[in-house]
Amino acid sequence: MPRNLYVNLPVKDLERTVDFFAALGFSFNPMFTDENATCMIINDSTSVMLLVESYFATFTKKPIADAHAATETLLAISVDSRAEVDDFVARAIAKGAVEYAEPKDLGFMYQRGIADLDGHQWEVFFMDESQFPGA
């Protein structure tokens, strides 16, 4: 049985965050959604819990990182084509994201990086493993 992964991220404005990610094509599990949190579905075994900062703070004794000022994590998400990388990034920027790095084209992999509304860094990439050197 595969393990499920739930990434938990603090957000300032849940409604604005849901609007942002919905515009990028993500859906949400209503069973795990209320005024404090929502469960953004990545795939059948991976979800991102977007938690209002005050609620997120109840799960940890450490201070919440300001993702605009420090890198807390790099979240990498694959898409099905180079064009989809560009489309994803364009839609994210249109909704308020910031592209924080130059695109990287390694031949077998094409990648771009955005920071979402709360500064969380997302690496959006397409990889063609058949083009990997030595494959």
pLDDT in tens, 51-93: 999 999 999 999 999 999 999 999 999 999 999 999 999 999 9
Nearest Cα residue to 111 out of 134, 135, 77: 77
Q: Which of the two residues, 23 and 130, has the higher pLDDT score?
A: 23
pLDDT score for 134: 74
- Once rounded to an integer, what is the mean pLDDT over residues 119-133? 93
Question: Buried b vs exposed e over 69-100: b needs ≥16 C-beta within 10 Å?
Answer: eeebeebebebeebeebbebbeebeebebeee
pLDDT score for 130: 87
Nearest Cα residue to 75 out of 121, 42, 118: 121
| Domain 1-59, CATH among 3.40.50.300, 3.10.180.10, 3.40.710.10, 3.90.930.60 | 3.10.180.10
Average pLDDT, the chain: 95
pLDDT score for 110: 98
Domains 1-59 and 71-135 share a fold: yes
pLDDT score for 28: 98
Q: How far apart are CA 97 and CA 86, in angstroms?
A: 13
Q: How far apart are CA 100 and CA 119, in angstroms?
A: 10
pLDDT score for 132: 83
The fold for domain 71-135 equals 2,3-Dihydroxybiphenyl 1,2-Dioxygenase; domain 1 (3.10.180)
Instruction: Please check the confidence at residue 135 and state whether its pLDDT lies above 70.
Output: no
With 0-12 / 13-18 / 19 or more C-beta atoms within 10 angstroms meaning exposed / middle / buried, residue 50 is buried
Tokens of 3: 């393990």
Band (pLDDT 50/70/90 cuts) for residue 133 is confident
